[in-house]
């Protein structure tokens, strides 16, 4: 009887470990996909990935970084203006104002980019 309880406990622990690792794997896959689409300025694939993953841009924006930059900073660095302006439209005004992306753009030579202009207009900066 003891061995049955112990083996059941081990099996339950193994199953619990698998279930905790799957969401992390899905989040990493989503982040990698979004960074790839931003780098390639591929708005259609980004929209499809968000729709298939059943998430909104504003829900995942603050948790994803590409090469140590936010998604909008990464878009400005790569000249991905179409996808950057698309993302600005999907983020809340509060997120845009508090993210520091506009200030980053001004300090790093991207102040004249269409993305910075869209942030300024939408957030009222």
Asked if 66 and 80 count as a contact pair (C-beta separation under 8 A), the reply is no
Cross-strand bridge partners of residue 69: 66
Q: What percent of the chain has pLDDT over 90?
A: 34
| Average pLDDT score over the chain | 79
Ordered alpha helix ranges (H), 40-80: 43-53, 57-60, 71-78
pLDDT tens-digit profile of 21-73? Answer: 344 555 688 888 889 999 999 999 999 999 998 989 888 888 888 888 899 99
Output the pLDDT for position 32. Answer: 87
More confident residue, 113 or 2: 113
Q: How many CA atoms lie within 13 A of 81 on its CB side?
A: 9
Cβ neighbours of residue 92 under 8 Å, at least 6 residues apart? Answer: 58
Sequence spans of domains, the chain: 2-123
What pTM did the predictor assign?
0.74
Q: In which band, very low, low, confident or very high, does the pLDDT at 10 lie, cut at 50, 70 and 90?
A: very low
Nearest to 114 by CA among 83, 70, 69: 83
Q: In which band, very low, low, confident or very high, does the pLDDT at 83 lie, cut at 50, 70 and 90?
A: very high
Output the pLDDT for position 26. Answer: 55
Q: Rg (Cα) of the chain, in Å, rounded?
A: 20
């Amino acid at each position: 009887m003891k061995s049955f309880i112990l083996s059941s406990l081990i099996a339950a622990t193994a199953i619990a470990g698998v279930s905790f690792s799957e969401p992390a794997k899905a989040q990493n896959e989503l982040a990698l996909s979004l960074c790839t689409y931003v780098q390639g300025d591929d708005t259609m694939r980004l929209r499809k990935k968000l729709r298939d993953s059943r998430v909104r841009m504003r829900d995942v924006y603050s948790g994803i970084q590409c090469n140590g930059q936010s998604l909008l900073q990464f878009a400005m660095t790569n000249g991905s203006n179409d996808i950057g302006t698309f993302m600005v439209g999907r983020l809340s005004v509060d997120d845009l104002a508090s993210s520091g992306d506009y200030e980053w753009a001004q300090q790093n030579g991207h102040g004249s980019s269409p993305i910075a202009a869209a942030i300024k207009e939408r957030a009222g900066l």
